[in-house]
Structure 1
Amino acid sequence: MSLTGTPFFLLTVAFLIAATVALLLLWNRVPGPGALRWGGRTGLALLSQFAAVVMVLVYVNNSMGPFYESWADLFGDSGQAQLSDPTGGKPQPGSADQTAVHHGTLRFRPFHGGAVQAEAVGPASQVRGSLYVWLPPQYQDPAYANTDFPVVELLSGFPGSPQTWFGSMAVGKEMTALMAQGKVQPMILVAPTLNVLGNTVDAGCADIPGVARTATWLARDVPALVAANFRTQRGARHWGVMGYSAGAYCAVNLAVHYPGVFHAAVSLSGYNAPSAGLVTRNPALARANNPYLVLRSARKQPDVVLLMAGSLQDGDTVAAAKALLGVLRHPGASRLLTVAQGGHLVSVWHNWLPVALPWLSAQVR
């Protein structure tokens, strides 16, 4: 049963109702001496409270995230990584993985939302993570057999999961509709693991000495792995990055620090300063990973364009967006996107896709 599916949420509601009914019916019917009766009543009360907490957590996860897309994501089971395919990319007789799609050095398995998924180890960062790749229909069209495609890297929040882009965010469905309307060009979308330390410790989208090289994984390894396995256009002018929440901060931070990799970045409800304790405890590292400070103090700013989106009901996301755009000396196609209503929600970020994807498409041609 899916962690984020309606059946599981309804099961938690039924569990709460059953626990509450049991509390009311059995309160005065617990047998035994006084201590045992009060122990039983306490257990019934705790059970009902536990049921209520579980239901609320599932509701929050489904409506505001999902922060955890699957049971494996919740319990930290990310699987094992594999960089090379010793079979030469051919399924072996008797293999359990007969549905794998082979591209270059990685083995991709079908995922929902039209995406495929593979595990990888970053050669530069040594980070173990997943890649979820969505290919436009044109990729398999013989008429496009010699065509290379631009790429957009998609980043989730913290806690969060790259699967969300093809689940609740439904980015593949949105891309298909926008291509049919002629509003976007065919692009490859790739959502890599952002939370390389799991969903309990924020790695902060930074290279942290002795801990993890998240920035290297996202800005060097992921582009290299995607380019090695798919027909991608080369050069930063054909690559963009987009994220929501912590991933939005990360998208801008990567574009600012790796303008030779990403030319365009989209921030959906992002912020400008690092918030991860592993980063903020080191003042120099925190300053180096503050895109606002980096841009403001740069003698020559990187050649990047930014789409900054925020909601007036979502803290200071609009103020942060305005501040960041305000320090750009040559804003070019950079834009501010705001809405009056909506909090820090997947529904808000999804509603921005019809604007964000065409903007990205125009920047990475």
Structure 2
Amino acid sequence: MSLTGTPFFVLTVVLVVVALAALFGLWNRIPGPGAARLAARFGLAVLSQLTAVVMVLVYLNNSMGPFYDSWSDLFGGSTTVSDTALSGNNGHHGGDGVAPGGKLTFSSYLPGVLKTRTVGASSGIEGSLYVWLPPQYHDPAYANTDFPVVELLPGTPGTPQAWFGTMKVQDEMSKLMAAGTVKPMIMVSAKLNVLGGNTDPGCADIPGVARTATWLSRDVPALIRSNFRAAKAPSQWAIMGYSAGAYCAVNLTVQHPDVFGSAVSLSGYNTPESPLVTNNLGLSRANDPVYQLKHAKKQPPVSFLMGGSLQDQGTVPAAKALLAVLRTPGDSRLVTVREGGHTPTVWREMLPDALTWLSARTSG
């Protein structure tokens, strides 16, 4: 039974009803000595509370994320990583990083949103992709147009479909295109939490663990270009994320300016937090965008939109800190909101500014 499916949620509701019925129906009918009756009543009360908590958590997971897409995502061990990828043989099957015949089969997730599951040829990571194509993509007038692409990253824990569920980026794009403030762009949301459970992959290539950075910066762009009319120039590719995904967006742009020309950070941070990364000084510094920019002989020609909430402690200072190390800020800038914590409400509020800025950067 699927973790995010309606049948499982209905089951949790039924269990709550059964537990409450048992609590009230058996409260005065429990036989035995006083201590035994007290223990049984306590057990029934705890059971009713636990079932209610599970029901609420399942509802929140389904409606605000999902944070966990499957049982393996929740408990870990959700990632398939090839032995060749971990051993250093990239599993590379061609010059473009795509396995032979890298055409994917997509199904519908939401109106206008496609989904698929694939294995990255270079990373060996099995991950899901969700793609939104602007209406112009199917317009004969745009038949020869290669569209700019924005890669979208969730937080940790989190799933890629949250961008089209909770964040509703496709609705915001439609509004802004109708208003003429944003040009058509392909939106692709990729799996970030490749290790499952609460294990943060650190947006890095970690020897013997997983090559998350390779999956996001090499495999995903190659797969999108192989299956859609997607632009090839780095200036027409951008990456945006919130929370841990925001850190990852900036980190990948600093490391791979040959892939991404701009990045948007919504309530992100600057230094790696995953123990898998921080336990290795060299790996930690390699995945610290502020450190890399500060010590670069020549900073990459990329730009950043750094966002945060004044009530979300640390996000605005982190954004200002990264912008401060840019020797040539160019189009980079700060966007803030006055109220709100580390929540999708804040990220949705910053979305119109972010998409407008991205459109101007990627329009070519």
TM range (shorter): 0.7 to 0.9
Equivalent residue, structure 2, for 1:93: none
Cα pair distance change 1:350/1:227, threshold 3 Å? same
Question: For 2:105, what is the secondary structure of its paired residue?
Answer: strand
State the Cα deviation string for residues 232-273 of structure 1 (Å, max 9, x = none).
111111100000111000000000000110011000110101
Q: Is the 8 A contact 2:64 2:162 kept in 1?
A: no
Partner amino acid, structure 2, of 1:157: G
CA distance in 2, matches of 1:216, 1:310: 27
Question: How far did residue 211 of structure 1 move?
Answer: 0.6
Q: Is the 8 A contact 1:243 1:268 kept in 2?
A: yes
Instruction: From 159, 162, 165, give the equivalent of 2:163.
Output: 165
State the Cα deviation string for residues 321-359 of structure 1 (Å, max 9, x = none).
111111111111111111111111112112221111110
- Flag structure 1 segments of 5+ consecutive residues without an equivalent: 84-102
Instruction: From 318, 326, 329, give the equivalent of 1:328.
Output: 326
Equivalent residue, structure 2, for 1:141: 139
CA distance in 2, matches of 1:11, 1:307: 43
Question: How far did residue 8 of structure 1 move?
Answer: 7.9
CA distance in 2, matches of 1:231, 1:351: 30
Matches within 5 A, 1:1-365: 19=19, 22-23=22-23, 26-34=26-34, 36-58=36-58, 60-61=60-61, 65-69=65-69, 74=74, 105-365=103-363
Question: For 2:167, what is the secondary structure of its paired residue?
Answer: coil
Q: Is the 8 A contact 2:240 2:246 kept in 1?
A: yes
TM-score of the two chains, using structure 2 as the length reference: 0.86
Question: For 1:57, what is the secondary structure of its paired residue?
Answer: helix
Identity of aligned residues (%): 63
Question: How far did residue 280 of structure 1 move?
Answer: 1.1
Q: Is the 8 A contact 1:3 1:71 kept in 2?
A: yes
TM-score of the two chains, using structure 1 as the length reference: 0.85
Partner amino acid, structure 2, of 1:219: S
State the Cα deviation string for residues 180-216 of structure 1 (Å, max 9, x = none).
1111111111111111111331111000011111001
Cα pair distance change 1:277/1:78, threshold 3 Å? closer
CA distance in 2, matches of 1:340, 1:8: 39
Q: Is the 8 A contact 2:64 2:166 kept in 1?
A: no
Q: Is the 8 A contact 1:113 1:173 kept in 2?
A: no
- Flag structure 2 segments of 5+ consecutive residues without an equivalent: 82-90, 92-100
In angstroms, what is the RMSD of aligned CA positions? 2.8
Cα pair distance change 1:12/1:347, threshold 3 Å? farther
CA distance in 2, matches of 1:113, 1:197: 29
Partner amino acid, structure 2, of 1:262: F
Cα pair distance change 1:149/1:315, threshold 3 Å? same
Question: How far did residue 37 of structure 1 move?
Answer: 2.4
Q: Is the 8 A contact 1:249 1:272 kept in 2?
A: yes
Question: For 1:237, what is the secondary structure of its paired residue?
Answer: helix
